[in-house]
Amino acid sequence: MSKCLSLSPEFFGFLWAMERHPFLQSTMQFISENALFGKDDILLCAVSGGVDSMAMVSALHLLNFRLEIAHVNYGLRGKDSDADEALVRIWASERNIPFHLKKAGPEFHLDAQSSLQEKARDFRYQWLEKLASDQGIQHILLAHHAGDQTETILLQLFRGAGPRGLQGMLPASGLRKRPFLQHSREKILSFAKEFSIVWREDSSNAGLKYRRNIVRHKLIPVLKEIFPSFESVLQRNAQRMGHVSAAVDFLFSQLEKEFLLKTQPGKTEFNLEQIIAHPMAEFFMVELLLRNGFSFLDSEELSLRRKNTESVFRENGLGSRIEIRFPRLILFDSASATFLEIEIPDSSNQSFNLPSGKILKTWTDYSAPKNLPAFLCMADTNKISFPIRLRPCAPGDKMAVFGMSGQKKKVSDLLTEAKLSPTEKAETWLAEDSKGQILWIPGLRQAEICRLPENFSGPVFCMELLLPEEI
């Protein structure tokens, strides 16, 4: 028997497809132009059983790539979910392709109802990335196509996304690769039917429960009727947004270098006076906040308050904080965001906004009253170590209370004795020096270290708690 006759029919099908079929040629060209992956790479393909992912793995199999299949069974559609799993498993088995399965547990079902699609996506991506890491695979393939791109760009537009969001999904994003991003849904369906590819329809895709489905079934048909070529225009604009995004990144990096004062563990400081004087001040501040997990509303508000001489700060949901402390703008990371620092004092006044809505004012003086009211704290600058840290109360905190001969008492007991509500306790911060000595619970008690000798003459570090209307 000749060597030629020993070749499989599938191999001859592959040769024919490569030479003659435009869909596969277009797919191969897109992979090459975007340098997505090579013929020697192992590709972990996310396959749901729907037409898009089944067409993707079928095309890549015909193109002779090395594949592994990953399927998630969420169990949300009962027997239909199991039938999807069976289809994908059998397809992989018939071609001797490794098959990986992840079944969502009951905790996913209980937690998923509020935003099902987002939670399912996050669940899937976390598993795919862990699986790829465990298997030493560098490419996770997703079957997103041009229609998905249109929906994504429209959703990003209505969410108020900037240039980065309006460029839509990228062909390559870290481990995630999208070799079908240039194909329309119609072309994918035509290819699947021509090659007799078997797939299963997800009935939830036809409903209007999810926002993406409403965009797909309601909004896009109307836009096509009014602007027949709107999808191609949207795709071109997405490419232009990619160029704009690159320009924004370049400009921001240049300004960041220009305004940077210093970087320390836990915080980065910028020259606020220099920022204010620059014509791109608002652009820089908005971009800085957006890139560090703050909302657009926070970024706009803080940008408008950039000329404040009083301390102003905002925290995001990730635990980071940005603070205007004129003449500096300070960005704290999540590990150091839950406190404010007062550095070596001078004669100038500083003000700090506390979470309770009250304001802490600090200054240096050379005289002090004999009896300190609870809203005022004064200490000999030579007895305390700077910087002073303002932070929330923590379990185990103890303070040597003023007037108790140095006896230490739990801060939690002091808060209880003051009959504070749980909310008030959560909003109560304390002041401690760099050695961890608690100096003051603003509005409640001072520490023994704040006791000043008779006829003491400065320098005295002063802190005063004020309501906003008292400023």
Q: Is the pLDDT of residue 17 over 60?
A: no
Q: Is the pLDDT of residue 175 over 90?
A: yes
Q: Which is more confidently placed, 410 or 208?
A: 410
For residue 333, give the 3-state DSSP assignment. Answer: coil
Q: Are 177 and 171 in contact (CB under 8 A)?
A: yes
Give the range among 94-108, 184-198, 268-282, 362-376 with minimum mean pLDDT. 362-376
* DSSP state string for 368-432: --SS--TTEEEEETTTS-SSEEEEE--TT-EEEBTTTTT-EEEHHHHHHHTT--HHHHHH-EEEE
- In 10 A of CB 314, how many CB atoms? 19
Pick the CATH number of 265-332 from 3.30.465, 3.30.60, 3.30.70, 2.40.128: 3.30.465
Q: Is the pLDDT of residue 76 over 70?
A: yes
H-run or E-run covering 155: helix 146-159
Could you tell me which CATH number the domain at 9-241 has?
A: 3.40.50.620
Q: Are 59 and 191 in contact (CB under 8 A)?
A: yes
Average pLDDT over residues 457-465: 81
User: Which tokens is 449 given?
Assistant: 């270290």
Q: Is the pLDDT of residue 238 over 80?
A: yes
Q: What pLDDT score was predicted for residue 138?
A: 94
Q: What pLDDT score was predicted for residue 172?
A: 92
pLDDT band at 226 (very low <50, low <70, confident <90, very high): very high
Average pLDDT over residues 394-423: 85
Q: What percentage of the chain exceeds 70 in pLDDT?
A: 84
pLDDT band at 2 (very low <50, low <70, confident <90, very high): very low
Peptide bond into 392 cis (omega under 30): no
Dihedrals phi, psi of 436, to nearest 5 degrees: 90, 10
Per-residue CA distances from 241 to 167, 211, 236, 291, 296 (Å): 5, 24, 9, 17, 19
pLDDT band at 5 (very low <50, low <70, confident <90, very high): very low
The phi-psi region of residue 322 (left if phi > 0; otherwise alpha if psi is between -120 and 50; otherwise beta) is beta
- Give 333-357 pLDDT, tens digit per residue: 765 545 677 776 665 577 776 766 6
The pTM of the full predicted model, rounded to 2 decimals, is 0.63
- Give 77-95 pLDDT, tens digit per residue: 788 889 999 999 999 999 9
Q: What pLDDT score was predicted for residue 449?
A: 86
d(CA 59, CA 197): 10
Q: Structural domain boundaries of the chain? A: 9-241, 265-332, 341-470
Nearest Cα residue to 84 out of 119, 46, 56, 39: 46
d(CA 81, CA 75): 6
For residue 149, give the 3-state DSSP assignment. Answer: helix
d(CA 288, CA 280): 12
pLDDT band at 67 (very low <50, low <70, confident <90, very high): very high
User: Which tokens is 148 given?
Assistant: 């998905």
Q: Is the pLDDT of residue 114 over 60?
A: no
Q: Is the pLDDT of residue 18 over 90?
A: no
